[in-house]
Amino acid sequence: MTAAQRSSVSVPERIVIVGSSCAGKTTFAARVGSGLGLQHTQLDELHWLPDWVARDPDDFLARVIDAAAEERWVMDGNYQKVRPHLWSRATTIIWLNYSFPRVLWRCLKRSVWRSLTGETLYAGNVESFRRTFLSKDSILLWVMTNFGEKRRRYETLLSSELTNHCTVIECRRPADAEQWLKQQTLNDVLPAS
């Protein structure tokens, strides 16, 4: 089913965006937040401390619960520990279920760019050339070894009772995501008939 077929008529209030690493979750979530006037929170921003140290799991969970307590938001990320707390508050979950070649290309492009520019990420962290291409923590390696498993897991999770209360949107191409956002933006602007 396409994004347009599964989208709700009313504008969603609390949106979770999930998908493979490098699918474009954060970029799309920022656009959704801007387009619909929702507070955008990156789960990575709440999770990482300087030098790529993970925040204490209980502290991370508490921060996510606080952010999810707000009435209107969009959050992006794939953290299993916070999923039940976050998804239970969501009115819409969007799965960026893009093809492996597209995700791998985005990962490579993004990683090269970040390595060359030294772009600052959450908590002042940067993706160095060494970390990206020569490390066991390589995002490229992560995508190549986890893509299929993540896809299978989301197929199961998004049809489970965890999502019975909300609208689930599966976007198989970036055009699906753009179409959904355009429709939601129109719904937000046009008066109800």
CATH of the domain at 84: 3.40.50.300
For residue 86, is it within any domain?
yes
Any domain includes 157: yes
* CB neighbours of residue 134 within 10 Å: 11
Q: For residues 28 and 177, is the Cβ–Cβ distance under 8 A? A: yes
Residue 123 resides in a domain = yes
* Contact between 41 and 117 (Cβ < 8 Å): no
Domain count, the chain: 1
143 in any annotated domain: yes
Instruction: Tell me the three state secondary structure of residue 170.
Output: strand
pLDDT tens-digit readout, 128-184: 888 888 888 889 999 999 999 999 999 999 999 999 999 999 999 999 999 999 998
Q: Which residues contact 129 (CB under 8 A, 6 or more apart)?
A: 115
- Residue 181 in any domain: the answer is no
38's tokens: 């929702």
pLDDT at 10: 67
Domain that holds residue 58: 14-172
Q: Identify whether 142 is part of a domain.
A: yes
**Residue 127 resides in a domain:** yes
Query: Would 81 be classed as within a structural domain?
Result: yes
User: Which pTM value belongs to this model?
Assistant: 0.89
Pairing of strands 48-49, 53-54: antiparallel
Check: CB of residue 167 under 8 Å from CB of residue 8: yes
Per DSSP, what are the bridge partners of residue 17?
76, 94
